[in-house]
Amino acid sequence: MGKLVYDFIEGNKDLKDLLGGKGANLAEMTNLGLPVPPGFTITTEACRHYLRHGTLPEGLAAEVDEHLARLERAMGRTLGDPADPLLVSVRSGAKFSMPGMMETVLNIGLSDASVHGLAAQAGNERFAWDSYRRLIQMFGKTVLGIGGHEVERAIDEAKRAKGTASDLDLDAGDLRALTETFKSIVRAATGREFPQQPREQLDMAIRAVFDSWNAERAILYRRQERIPGDLGTAVSVVAMVFGNLGPDSGTGVAFTRDPSTGHQGIYGDYLQNAQGEDVVAGIRNTVPLQDLERIDPRSYAELLAIMKTLENHYQDLCDIEFTIERGKLWMLQTRVGKRTAAAAFRIAVQLADQGLIDMDEALRRVTGEQLAQLMFPRFGATEAATTITTAISASPGAAVGRAVFDSATAAQWAERGEHVILVRRETNPDDLPGMIAAQGILTSRGGKTSHAAVVARGMGKTCVCGAEQLDVDVAARRFTAAGSGPGSQITVREGDVISIDGTSGAVYLGEVPVVASPVVEYFEGKLDPASDELVTAVHRIMTHADARRRLGVQANADTGEDAARAVRFGAEGIGLTRTEHMFLGERRQLVERLILAEDDAGRQAALAELEPLQRGDFVEILAAMDGMPVTIRLLDPPLHEFLPDLTELSVKVALAGAGATERDRRLLEAVRRLHEQNPMLGLRGVRLGLVIPGLFAMQVRAIARAAADRVKAGGNPHPEIMIPLVGAVQELEIAREEAEKVLAQVAAETGVDLHVPIGTMIEVPRAALTAGQIAQAAEFFSLGTNDLTQMGWGFSRDDVEGAFFGRYIEMGIFGVSPFETLDAEGVGRLVRIAVDEGRAARPGLTIGVCGEHGGDPESVRFFHGAGLDYVSCSPFRVPVARLEAGRAVVLESAGGSDSR
């Protein structure tokens, strides 16, 4: 194994794979000459070795010794020296930001002996004991696995005894006594004294940070954010600088732009006389960063200059953590900041306008998931709503749900279908399951840089923070707030409905109605792009995406209304019209007559009644998509889906006895005859068309006559006929021969020259594997990835998603449902085979996809790489597909990876 430890002066921002984001960026800031405390980083390779083998890699201890000695020389102090101690922090840092999900330990090196040396060094006994109790508190939870409740209870008791609600009112004696209490808690929980040897503390902390990579909350976060589980974390060991030395010290978090809106300005939080974890944890309410100008003008000016340097250097929004130690500014971290969807679009366009990036890079920096978030509804009129309070708008959106007061309840209620709002004093990383389950998050403490705010923005969750007017009583499962009248009070109990507005920070009692997003109104053509700043940004990026993309984007639509909406959203055709949807409602009776027909005459009569209805449907869709292709899939599902349920009908007939109607008896007989153990693999698709004479012919005739009607009306129809569930070329050849005869007959009848391409869905694995044969009889392929996934995995979608997919995702068998994002390794290989062999047999063969994957961002990028001509998805997902099709091109040109 190679080099395992790097000094900050040896790294740079491009070594994130090796040094993690934190270590790489600390090195980068050091190289830029910014004030960074000296330190070193242990690589992710060391972590991966430790996680695989359970032991630290050979040679790591010696490298740590060497770099620690170098750090001690630079600082002029020795780790844990009783007279003049060097203290260090031990911090996690993976390649991808995972805020709060892994561990950090501050003040390593303090002991019963060195605490006195620290007091003398700082001239501040209170500060020394405050630092020591913080070490034992963090070390106990992080390294020794001691729950935090006893420690928090001890702090509360100390404050109560002092008659105060603030930690700052505890003096040196109080904190010394608290430290002894913490040590007794460690002794009782572990059977040993708190470690007094500084190097033992350091080694144990390093192992704990490595172990935290596989902590439950870290695993859950990686699944949520689709971060690979085999990357591991680096560990940065940094000389401590102290923000808790008094009023001339403090700690803060700054953003170079507002991560919630994207607006330019000074954004962040500052906390006097505190250590860094206090800000992120939200345990004390901060002041706005602008207040630092009044508190410490010199440090404020230096911070603004550094913020400008970092944004210009990284060419992006930067998230910065800093500490001021007795008027001296130190930079503890920077990273490209997490942001909301609205901020992502605004910032990308702003940076392009400033000349820091080009529009290709702007396109790389937004995602289809973010665009989808912007299309969600927002609150409408709120004048009639009861406002409980207005607090900090931490992550935008409109969320309505029942108030719940802990993570477990949020997850349980959401599992049973309830919409919930997670209400906490402040969140911590253990609340992640509830945060994922909730529609929104409301906290009474913390600001825009608190744990709740940072994680919510990353997940696209609505969040309101710092609602100080709320008295959140988790034990009593309620919160209270002052009412509008003198002495009045609003009480919200668990289960009561509240609404939170992450854009304005308002919290409402009850349910507030929502209205369409302005982004949707823009796509609908109801809003001028220039009328709204966010819409302008979306418009500019979508225009660039459309100019860059190679993939066409079509829509799945079954009605003229759906088709018209798809066109407004930018669809260039219909990739899938499902004709079975036209047999529902009142038309079911005609399908029943078809099924119950006892001879060809009865069957043809039923088909004759169905044909003009289908023809009318097709005329409507072809009119809406005039001049664009419309791919119409012939009947796909088994006929039993149009009949009553077997069990219900059996009970009905049995209860009626001799009084059962003849129709019900005949229906029951037909249902029993058509009943299949596994209907999705039974008589459906092309098999149905070959077995029931005249069924497909009726549909083809309706399509052809609808096209002729549109031509005579001056239209320019482009229908395409798609034959489903083909597994053998012979099936397609027979169905195609029948369809061509019908098309010729209608052309002769109407005098309209019809060119209607005939193709097939590739949705059976055998079809993908014999695509070269099938292409000889098909003018186009449309990949039906829903069925291809079902049959490729051997999954029955209706059963497996609820039965065990959740457990499979927990176990890491797959990171996301293969019905949501295409399985690139398995099903994706079938797709590539179908594309390669199909085009080898028929050069220029048009190939698209019409499964739900056609609107999934990651899958769209796969289809681009596989060489498809178009994707087709629901109308609402068309803008997402357009954006991702453009991103696929610019990501490919940048080497295939997202710039984020």
Q: Which residue type, as a one-letter code, is found at position 612?
A: P
Q: Beta 386-390 vs 506-509: how paired, if at all?
A: antiparallel
CA of residue 120 relative to chain centroid, distance: 50
Residue keyed to tokens 């477990």: 408
Considering the candidates 451, 539, 640, 864, report the single residue annotated as catalytic.
Answer: 451
Exposure of 172 by Cβ count < 10 A (0-12 exposed, 13-18 middle, 19+ buried)? Answer: middle
Encoded tokens for 619: 């005329």
Beta strand ranges found along 523-677 (DSSP E): 552-556, 574-578, 629-633
Three-class secondary structure assignment of 329-353:
EEEEEEEECCCCHHHHHHHHHHHHH
CB 323 within 8 Å of CB 293 = no
Buried b (16+ CB within 10 A) or exposed e, 661-696: eeeeeebbebbeebeeeeeeeeebbbbbbbebebbb
| 264-272 β-sheet, strand order | 287-288, 264-272, 250-257, 318-325, 328-336
Q: In which element (H, E) is residue 407 found?
A: helix 407-415
Q: Which tokens is 258 given?
A: 């507002």
Residue with tokens 């707030």: 481
533-570 burial: b if 16+ Cβ within 10 Å, else e? ebbbbbbbbbebbeebbebbbbbbbbebebbbbbbebb
Q: What are phi and psi of 707, to 5 degrees?
A: -65, -45
The Cα 405–Cα 401 span in angstroms is 12
> What single string gives the DSSP state of each residue in 797-863?
HHHHIIIIIHHHHHTTS-SS-TTTS--TTTHHHHHHHHHHHHHHHSTT-EEEE-SGGGG-HHHHHHH
Burial code (b: 16+ CB inside 10 Å, e: under 16) for 482-512 equals eeeeeeeebebebeebbbbbbbbbbbbbeeb
How far is the C-alpha of 677 from the C-alpha of 679, rounded, in Å? 6
| Crossing angle for the helix pair 662-674 and 646-656, to the nearest 10 degrees | 150
351 closest CA partner among 319, 316, 307, 318: 316
Active site residue 263: no
CA distance 14 to 516: 42
Q: Choosing from 49, 850, 864, 873, which is the catalytic residue?
A: 850
> For residues 890 and 259, what is the distance between their CA atoms, to the nearest angstrom?
24
Cα separation, 253 vs 448, in Å, equals 9
Q: Considering only CA atoms, which of 295, 290, 325 is closest in space to residue 307?
A: 290
Query: In Å, how far are 46, 124, 278, 465 from 447, measured between CA atoms?
Result: 35, 29, 11, 6
Cα 216–Cα 222–Cα 225 angle in degrees, nearest 5 = 140
Structure token digits, residue 572: 């260039």
DSSP of 152-194: HHHHHHHHHHHT-S-GGG--HHHHHHHHHHHHHHHHHHHSSPP
CB-side neighbour CA atoms (13 Å) of 698? 22
Look up 850 and say whether it is catalytic: yes
Which amino acid is located at 891 in the chain? L
Question: Among all residues, which ones are annotated catalytic?
Answer: 451, 850
